[in-house]
Homo-oligomer: A and B are copies of this chain.
Amino acid sequence: MNELISKRLSTPNTAVQDLLAACAQEQGKLLRPGLFLLFSQLGDQQQQDEKQLFKIAASLELLHRASLIHDDIIDDSPLRHGTITIQADYGKDVAVYAGDLLFTVFFQILIETMNGTPYMEYNASSMKKLLLGELSQMHARFNKSQTIDEYLENIKGKTAALFKLACTEGAYFGHANKETIALASRIGENIGISFQIFDDILDYASNTKILQKPVLEDISQGVYTSPLLFAAAIHPEEFAPYLDKRQSITSQEIKQVAKLVHRYGGVKQAKQLAQTYTEKALADIDQLPQVETTTKIRKIALTLLKRSY
């Protein structure tokens, strides 16, 4: 995967070679291309074009990385998954164009693999959903009374749209039947929603003494996720004195907020919410053709959604 991405990002332009090499090397869990390839295995292998599938898998990773590079500009994150981010290494300015360049290479791979098919538009509109989700989340900053429905709408865009795309086009380009494609679409979305809720829960480490860095950042930046929203909905008066400080909230006060989130069952309720979406996904996975790949998909779904926290 990284080899293909690296090849696509190579350029005779020496000025930007280093930067592009860094973009190609960024390592993630390759979740989205992984789900894509798994779902493609549910199709008719006789009809499959291995090179095409591999390229589409890479396109999903490129779209994901491009959006991460732009996210990091906004979050001002020096680290992501322990790796120095493009913006910390090359500066905010370069990161803007580097993300743009990855979007372009993403489109080039789509044009190469699916020009003329309706999946061109499906990719573009998924990218649009992703961006609108990010913008909505930004707009909801410091809104203590954001509802869980609004939160869900945002994560459907910013996270689930890409999971949904990966699973749907996996089944489609793997030449699966219509029923499987429809199931893949729902499974992808529900896994995506559950994945994001768990990601948000992970920030509220069970041990509030070792608070995760993201939660400190999220709260001081006004990004309130489901554990906090659930708890604050029950006892708004206890959270208000802290959250009303907005950006000027201290680390000590954030620890207090995290304690309150646990005390009022915010983490517990968020886990239940995630569980609902996991169960929806599992019910649909049960409807897939029961082949070896389906067992793998079920395992991955469960692993992703039962991470330690």
Contacts and interface: CB of A to CB of B under 8 A. Distances in A.
B97 A13 contact: no
Contact count band on A: 35 or more
B70 A131 contact: no
Interface SS majority for chain A: helix
Contacts of A140: 15
A125 B108 contact: yes
A111 B127 CA distance: 14
A124 B100 CA distance: 11
Interface in A6-20: 11, 13, 15-16, 19
Contacts of A101: 128, 131-132, 135
Nearest to A66: B100
Interface in A192-246: none
A104 B121 contact: no
A32 B304 CA distance: 48
A127 B103 CA distance: 10
A260 interface: no
A128 B115 contact: no
Given A15-B140, A70-B96, A101-B132, 16 more contacts: A15-B135, A15-B136, A16-B135, A16-B139, A19-B135, A70-B100, A94-B135, A97-B131, A97-B138, A99-B100, A101-B128, A101-B131, A107-B107, A108-B128, A111-B121, A116-B116
Interface of A: 11, 13, 15-16, 19, 70, 73-74, 92-94, 96-101, 103-105, 107-108, 111-112, 115-116, 120-121, 124-125, 127-128, 131-132, 134-136, 138-140
